[in-house]
């Protein structure tokens, strides 16, 4: 895996912040869940492509609907991104569902259940 340069890290951070603002405030698609967050962004060094990892709090269907809404609004999002951020090239956006937050919540719930069972048995 290639180490990110300082420039690439700054571009990733700025694109992530801007995309979060666009998704939260500018898109009116009812398929996109209001509990959608941009977890990470990976912009290619040549600024041609961008992987956008989004997390949706809710069930699997809400995630699929949100992903479909984001893909259909891709042109609008890219246009807004180009107006807000001055880059040499505006990257093509590829939205991917990230399940890390849901996984973390699930693991935390399981740990709490085990601790509760241990307390009930007096093993703590």
Mean pLDDT for the stretch of residues 18-23: 93
pLDDT confidence band for 29 (50 / 70 / 90): confident
**pLDDT the model gives residue 40:** 93
**pLDDT the model gives residue 1:** 38
**Is residue 123 over pLDDT 80?**
no
pTM for this model (two decimals): 0.78
**Is residue 5 over pLDDT 80?**
yes
CB 17 within 8 A of CB 52: no
**Is residue 13 over pLDDT 90?**
yes
- 35-69 pLDDT, tens digit per residue, is 888 999 999 988 899 999 998 887 888 889 999 99
The CA angle 59-66-82, to the nearest 5 degrees, is 150
Which DSSP state fits 56?
A: E
Report CA torsion sign: 99, 104, 58, 33: negative
**pLDDT the model gives residue 76:** 93
- Which is more confidently placed, 1 or 76? 76
- 64-118 pLDDT, tens digit per residue, is 999 999 999 999 999 999 999 988 889 999 999 987 777 888 899 999 999 998 8
């Amino acid at each position: 895996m290639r180490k990110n340069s300082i420039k690439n890290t700054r571009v990733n951070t700025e694109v992530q912040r801007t995309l979060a603002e666009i998704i939260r405030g500018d898109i009116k698609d009812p398929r996109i869940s209001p509990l959608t967050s941009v977890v990470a962004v990976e912009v290619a060094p040549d600024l041609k492509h961008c992987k956008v990892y989004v997390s949706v709090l809710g069930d699997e269907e809400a995630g699929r609907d949100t992903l479909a809404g984001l893909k259909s609004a891709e042109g609008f999002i890219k246009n807004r991104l180009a107006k807000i951020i001055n880059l040499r090239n505006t990257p093509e956006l590829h939205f991917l569902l990230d399940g890390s937050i849901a996984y973390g919540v699930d693991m935390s719930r399981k740990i709490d259940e085990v601790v509760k069972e241990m307390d009930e048995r007096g093993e703590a």
